[in-house]
Each structure stands twice: as structure tokens, then as C-alpha cells.
């Protein structure tokens, strides 16, 4: 999964010959998982058709304030477009459009949207060599960069004039790579390594049966996704679950038993900066595992159980600078029990959720949590999606490790 996955990308296209490349750029953005909307200057429609871009983006293409061919004269709201976007890429960016951007000229929908945008703006210049090096163009570059707009440098090659030199718009693949790298470099968890556990563990009784629990792994997978989207390199150690994740920054390690999880966690813990143990690890396992399937010979079955190794407590004993997070699922005396676990296991933060709260706990898509940190600061949240809970958790961690 690309870092662009799930992002709203506004693509602005201006009237240069390089506009023909934008069909490939739209396709690559969509393939990366982005939601793409296109705004064109009137002149750009001479080089690439709105129909092509609409088909590839699966969204209407905007080029004027009012759709004149529409009898209802629908207003295309540039402010809404600017607010919708997580990032705005203007490619190609002609000398004419860049000059207007630099000086606040607003004579078409694209420029009005640019002036309304609150998101990062990338621009990919495209023009002939002499235009590219002209002092007025250089001044436009400098002015736009002073606005914190981000230039995607042009490359050298054969130009539309037949000359060879600088001014050729970056190739669509290179534009995607540039934007992805730029986003990653600025993310708050860039350079951090995060270990996450998720799901249940299964403790064998015999070759067929096991002791387990109802954990779906959803919470841990959402935390892994959110961590990667904030730039972290993620190691996700997961018990048996139907959840999946495809992200270039997430390495998934499947395990089955508590002992398997213990071994994998300890294999990686020394190399990480943050460990978030959200897995519902079995507290007990069968002392003897039958080599053959147990037969139903009597109306009762007595199993002797023994404790599994406490993964969270073992990490609390050996941590050296790692930020350690545990989860507590409680049914009574929630706050007191969570505080006790926080101190006893030497945690930096504990995430409490109660089975008494409707919509919280296993299997569902929502959770209701309370954070308790090692200064005993308590932060209670309302019922939220597990994706939002994951974001809240990482915001809390970032605020503490940056403090």
C-alpha cells in the first residue's frame, strides 16, 4: 500500500504539451489508492480530454465555474475543492500559470482553487529551455517556494521545440515517487520502528482443539495501518485472524500460540522504539498436549492448565528507552485494575476498555477507551471507530515521546 492510499488528491492540469502525460499520472494515483479529482485550465483541454481523465479518475473533471452544458448551471465550488484535497499536484505547471500563482492572479477555476487550498501544493514545471531559465520564471519558482509550495524539479531531455535541455516535466512515475518520499520525510513517526501485537492466541489441547478467545485483531491492525501512515516501520505480530493489511511499511509475522508470540516479540523488541501490545494473549495453556485427538469417553473432561509467559511484563523488565503500551480489558474496578497493571508491568501507557461499554471490546468496528499514562493522567474518549481510536493512541504516543 502506498502512503497515498486513502488520500484525496487534487490534480491541476495546465495548457502545456506535457499535459498528455497526465492520463498516466491519474492512473498511477488511482492505483496507489488515492481518490483523485481533476481541475483543468481551459487551454489544457486542447492537449488531453476531460473524458479521458474522468474515466480514469472515476470522478467528474472540473474546468469552469459553471457547467455551461448543464441546463441546471451547477456551480463548481473552488473552496470546497480546495478544502477536500489532502494534497494538490499541479502538473504540468506552465510558466503562465506559475506566474499567476505567484502573483495572486485568479482568472480560472484552477487558480481560484489554488488560492483556496489549505493542503500542501506540489507543482511540476514544464516548458522550453529558454522559458525555464528566464529570470521571470526563476522568480516565480522562488516566490512559490516561499509560499511553502513544493517544486517537483523538471528534468533534461528532448523538448517540444526539438531542443535538448532542462524544462521537461518529470515522468508520472517520478512524480508519484517524489510526492510519496516528500510526505514520508515529514511524517511524525518517520525513522521510528513500531512493534505491534494483534489478535488472539490459540493454545492447543490436542491436534484438533484449542483454548482461545474472541479477539478479531481489528484493533491491532488499525494501529499498524495508522502507524505506517505516519511514517513508521511496523512489525505486526499477529495471532490467527481474518484481518489483512497491505502496506509497504508493514511486515506481518503470523503466530499461533502465546509462546510463539513471546518468542517473536523478544526477537524484535530490542530494535524498536515503540511497542504496542494489543493482542489478547491467552493467560493459560494446557499443561499436557495430547498427541492424538481426545475421545469423548466420559461426560466430563478435566484439563490441567498452567500460566503462559507474560509477554507485556517481560518487556517492562528489559525495556531500555522503548515506549511500551499495554491494553487492559476489564469488567469491574476498571480504572484501579488498569492503574495496577500499568505500574506492575512498568508501562508508559495503558489503554483501558470495558466490556460494560456497549460497542467496545472484541469483534466490532468500534471501541471506547480510556488512556492512563505513567503520570496517571487519565483521558477518556467516547465511542469511536477503531481506526479513530488508533489515531488517538498514536497522537498520544507522539505527544509524549516528543515532550
Query: What residues are labeled active site?
Result: 213
And the C-alpha cell for 277?
501490545
CA 270 to chain CA centroid, Å, is: 25
C-alpha to C-alpha distance for 24 and 12, rounded to whole angstroms: 14
Q: Which residues pair with 367 in a beta bridge?
A: 384
Phi, psi for residue 263 in degrees, rounded to 5: -65, -45
- 398: alpha, beta or left? (left if phi > 0; alpha if psi -120 to 50): alpha
- Cell 511500551 locates to 324
C-alpha to C-alpha distance for 376 and 353, rounded to whole angstroms: 16
State which H helix or E strand residue 96 sits in: helix 95-103
What ranges make up the beta strands (E) of 60-153?
61-62, 87-93, 121-125, 150-151
* Cβ neighbours for 107, distance < 8 A, ≥ 6 positions apart: 100
C-alpha to C-alpha distance for 244 and 93, rounded to whole angstroms: 39
C-alpha to C-alpha distance for 109 and 64, rounded to whole angstroms: 6
* Cβ neighbours for 293, distance < 8 A, ≥ 6 positions apart: 206, 207, 208, 209
Residue pair 56/125 in contact by the 8 Å Cβ criterion: no
Residue closest to 33 by CA, chosen among 245, 252, 254, 251: 245
C-alpha to C-alpha distance for 300 and 320, rounded to whole angstroms: 48
Amino acid at each position: 500500500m502506498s502512503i497515498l492510499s486513502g488520500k484525496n488528491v487534487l490534480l491541476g492540469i495546465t495548457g502545456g504539451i506535457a499535459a498528455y502525460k497526465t492520463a498516466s499520472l491519474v492512473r498511477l494515483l488511482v492505483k496507489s489508492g488515492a481518490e483523485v479529482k481533476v481541475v483543468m485550465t481551459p487551454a489544457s483541454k486542447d492537449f488531453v480530454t476531460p473524458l479521458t481523465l474522468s474515466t480514469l479518475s472515476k470522478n467528474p473533471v472540473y474546468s469552469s465555474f459553471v457547467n455551461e452544458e448543464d441546463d441546471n448551471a451547477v456551480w463548481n465550488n473552488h473552496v470546497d475543492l480546495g478544502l477536500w484535497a489532502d494534497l494538490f499536484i499541479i502538473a504540468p505547471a506552465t510558466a503562465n500559470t506559475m506566474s499567476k500563482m505567484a502573483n495572486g492572479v485568479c482568472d480560472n477555476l484552477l487558480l481560484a482553487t489554488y488560492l483556496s487550498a489549505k493542503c500542501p501544493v506540489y507543482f511540476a514545471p514544464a516548458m522550453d529551455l529558454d522559458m525555464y531559465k528566464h529570470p521571470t520564471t526563476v522568480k516565480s519558482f522562488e516566490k512559490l517556494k516561499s509560499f511553502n509550495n513544493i517544486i517537483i524539479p523538471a528534468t533534461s531531455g528532448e523538448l517540444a521545440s526539438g531542443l535538448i535541455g532542462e524544462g521537461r516535466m518529470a515522468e508520472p512515475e517520478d512524480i508519484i515517487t517524489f510526492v510519496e518520499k516528500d510526505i514520508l520525510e515529514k511524517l511524525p513517526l518517520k525513522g521510528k520502528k513500531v512493534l505491534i501485537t494483534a489478535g488472539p492466541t490459540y493454545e492447543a489441547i490436542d491436534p484438533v482443539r484449542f483454548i482461545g478467545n474472541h479477539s478479531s485483531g481489528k484493533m491491532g491492525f488499525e494501529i499498524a495501518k495508522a502507524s505506517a501512515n505516519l511514517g513508521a516501520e511496523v512489525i505486526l505480530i499477529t495471532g490467527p485472524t481474518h484481518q489483512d493489511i497491505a502496506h509497504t511499511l508493514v511486515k506481518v509475522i503470523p503466530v499461533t500460540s502465546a509462546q510463539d508470540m513471546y518468542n517473536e516479540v523478544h526477537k524484535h523488541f530490542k530494535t524498536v522504539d515503540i511497542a504496542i501490545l494489543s493482542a489478547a494473549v491467552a493467560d493459560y495453556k494446557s499443561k499436557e498436549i495430547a498427541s492424538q485427538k481426545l475421545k469423548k469417553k466420559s461426560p466430563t473432561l478435566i484439563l490441567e492448565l498452567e500460566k503462559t509467559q507474560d509477554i507485556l511484563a517481560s518487556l517492562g523488565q528489559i525495556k531500555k528507552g522503548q515506549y511500551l503500551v499495554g491494553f487492559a480489558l476489564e469488567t469491574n474496578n476498571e480504572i484501579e485494575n488498569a492503574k495496577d497493571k500499568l505500574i506492575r508491568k512498568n508501562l508508559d501507557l495503558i489503554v483501558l476498555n470495558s466490556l460494560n461499554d456497549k460497542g467496545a471490546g472484541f469483534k466490532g468496528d468500534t471501541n471506547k477507551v480510556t488512556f492512563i499514562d505513567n503520570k496517571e493522567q487519565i483521558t477518556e474518549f467516547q465511542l469511536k471507530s477503531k481506526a479513530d481510536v488508533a489515531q488517538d493512541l498514536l497522537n498520544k504516543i507522539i505527544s509524549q515521546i516528543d515532550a
